[in-house]
Chains A and B, each alone.
Chain A
Amino acid sequence: MSEYVLLRHRQIPNLNRLEVYQANGGFAAFRKVLTEMQPADVLNEVKTSGLRGRGGAGFPTGMKWSFLPNTLWPHYVVANGDESEPGTFKDREILENNPFQFLEGLMIASYAVQANLSFVYLRGEFWQIGKQLERCIATLERAGLLGENILGTGYSLRLVVHMGAGAYICGEETALLESIEGKLGQPRLRPPFPAVAGLYNRPTVINNVETLTNLPPILANGAGWYRSLGTEKSPGVKIFSLSGCVRRPGNYELPLGSTFRHLIEELGGGALEGRRLKAIMPAGASSSLLRVDDRVLDTPMDYESVAALGSQLGSASVIVLDDSVDLKWLLNKTVHFFKHESCGKCTPCREGTYWMSHLTERLALPGEAHPGDAELLLAVARQMQGKCLCALGEFSTMAVTTAMQLFPEEFAER
């Protein structure tokens, strides 16, 4: 690894202190943006950089911003720090150790769409992080980088931290907005999209923490520099959260397009003693499984290449499974997660996860399965697909259908 773009605290001690962050180039991008660039210039630079949303969907960030109508005001920006996908712990490392780069990114995004009030939505469990961010925001207010008439430019911005309270679904952007509005975290019907009718029914940008943290280096070094990293369609760097059956789990910042083999074997140290890699879940519990072979291991981890294998890069939370893992046990784990986290709004998800959990429980316990349970599980999963307002219901079926398709021998009745 040469120089970190996002996890810079690993090379610069005390980067969570404003003076240290500023001594290392911090807020140079924000100053430049505010004093030398029009909002449209910022938007164009981000569009040109090819930055794509790091929360999972990979949607082009600049394009997302460009959907906000300039006829409806005020505009809002919301940072999504609800990080709750099993296997994902990248935003947490940024927020804990490099909070000012994240906040600078949020401030640049706010300027680009001319928002004067922006929110940071954090999962409630990030209580300590929330306290730290509030201290950081107060520091920025004292330093004149937040508040009224920032740097004498006439632009004003206030940031508010809003703590969630334990609900995976609030990572879904419309459920997140409902939660800030003081309602149950349940997804909205779209259209209208948040870009037109978002927070308080006003045009809203929602960007993931990691996405926003990419903005200061992009604005400081230019879109061309950013595009020199990663691949043509998936430019830039990404934090890969590696967990499960590997020797060295943790966050690894790599250019998009690095291979699974490089992450899992070279950086992660490969399988544990005497074990063999069996499958990979590249996008946390929501992933389609990949059965490990040389072709999969040598696949570049970018949005297109992982999709071509029939899975998803998502938020790049790579869970590694070895030959000691019983896939029926695994499905019971993932299905129970989604059953617990289903918000209950859409019937196929609420009922489907409930019935799938009964079946996976029986399948996971030796001698408990009824004849036909595996087929029934697959049938329930397929009936849920494409029938819910948000992706949670769909996510709950991904591991089920792909595990049964790729490892049929594990589900054969004995």
Chain B
Amino acid sequence: MNALLERYPDEVKAILARYPQEQKRSAVMPLLYLAQRERGVITVKDMAEIGELTGMEITEVGSIVGFYTLYHDSGPRFRVQVCTDLPCALRGADEFLKRLCENIGVRVGEPTADGSLVIEEVTCLAGCHHAPMFQVQGDGEITYHEDQTVESATETIAELRRRAAGGEHE
């Protein structure tokens, strides 16, 4: 049985219908987002099911997961991704990231002790004029947080951890 299709029958069909009938493979990226929505990660089983829906080998689906940075096969529920690329760095992003990590008591790329989130360093997010800035990826969404201070970012992170602790899903 294809669990992804069973769980989201309408969405899977709608995704497949977007592309020309003989081009099912085009649906692999939106289907991966769908598989990742609830738990923030894509399992080997998900990859096999998506392969079935798109006519791809599981290894081909796996290579897509590996190539694109917004797909994850492991990791916590939330990812706080701080841009430290040149334009943001010229406006203090490196120092912002360092102080934020000190404040939370984690290192870049290492999940928090409660396993709820990780702070990561990423490349340009097209928010150069609002540095320091970061995005939060989790629960099937990406949200931008711009013109940040260490204090405002710390508050956002506390809120994310509360959501994770409460088991609350949107």
Task: Name A residues whose Cβ lies closer than 8 Å to a Cβ of B.
Answer: 83-89, 91-92, 117, 123-128, 160, 162-168, 179-185, 200, 241-245, 249-251, 285, 317, 319, 321, 325, 330, 333-334, 337, 340-341, 343
Given A85-B124, A89-B128, A163-B30, the answer on whether A185 and B90 have CB atoms closer than 8 Å is: no
| Chain B residue with Cβ nearest A92 | B126
The residue that B90 contacts in the complex, of A91, A181, A245, with Cβ under 8 A, is A245
> Is there contact, CB below 8 Å, between A84 and B126?
yes
> Is there contact, CB below 8 Å, between B124 and A86?
yes
| Chain A residue with Cβ nearest B129 | A249
State the CA gap A180–B25 with chains docked (Å): 9
Q: Chain B residues near A85 (CB, 8 Å)?
A: 124
Given A241-B128, A249-B129, the answer on whether A165 and B90 have CB atoms closer than 8 Å is: no
| Chain A residue with Cβ nearest B54 | A182
State the CA gap A340–B127 with chains docked (Å): 19
Chain B 70-100 interface residues, beta-carbon cutoff 8 Å to A:
70-71, 85-87, 89-91
| Chain B residue with Cβ nearest A250 | B129
27 A-B residue pairs with Cβ-Cβ distance under 8 Å, sorted by A, are A84-B123, A86-B85, A86-B86, A86-B124, A87-B128, A89-B126, A117-B20, A124-B70, A126-B126, A127-B142, A128-B143, A163-B33, A164-B29, A165-B68, A165-B71, A166-B70, A181-B23, A185-B68, A241-B128, A243-B87, A244-B87, A249-B128, A285-B85, A285-B86, A333-B85, A337-B123, A341-B123
The residue that A167 contacts in the complex, of B69, B124, B144, with Cβ under 8 A, is B69
| Chain B residue with Cβ nearest A320 | B90
**9 closest A-B pairs by CB:** A166-B69, A165-B68, A182-B25, A127-B142, A243-B128, A166-B70, A249-B129, A243-B87, A182-B28
Q: A166-B71, A249-B87 are in contact. List 7 more A-B contacts (CB 8 A).
A: A162-B18, A162-B30, A163-B30, A165-B33, A243-B129, A319-B128, A330-B86
Chain B 20-41 interface residues, beta-carbon cutoff 8 Å to A:
20, 23, 25-30, 32-33
> Is there contact, CB below 8 Å, between A184 and B63?
yes
Number of interface residues of B (CB under 8 A): 39
Residue B8, interface by CB 8 Å: no
State the CA gap A243–B91 with chains docked (Å): 9
State the CA gap A160–B85 with chains docked (Å): 31
| Chain A residue with Cβ nearest B24 | A182
State the CA gap A179–B26 with chains docked (Å): 8
Given A160-B18, A167-B68, A184-B67, the answer on whether A84 and B90 have CB atoms closer than 8 Å is: no
> Is there contact, CB below 8 Å, between A340 and B129?
no
Residue B56, interface by CB 8 Å: yes
Interface residues as binary, B1-30 with A (CB distance below 8 Å gives 1, 0 otherwise): 000000000000000001110010111111
Q: Chain B residues near A244 (CB, 8 Å)?
A: 86-87, 90-91, 128
> Is there contact, CB below 8 Å, between B67 and A125?
no
> Is there contact, CB below 8 Å, between A182 and B90?
no
Instruction: Identify which of B23, B27, B63, B135 gathers the most chain A CB atoms within 10 Å of its CB.
Output: B23
State the CA gap A154–B143 with chains docked (Å): 40
State the CA gap A317–B124 with chains docked (Å): 12
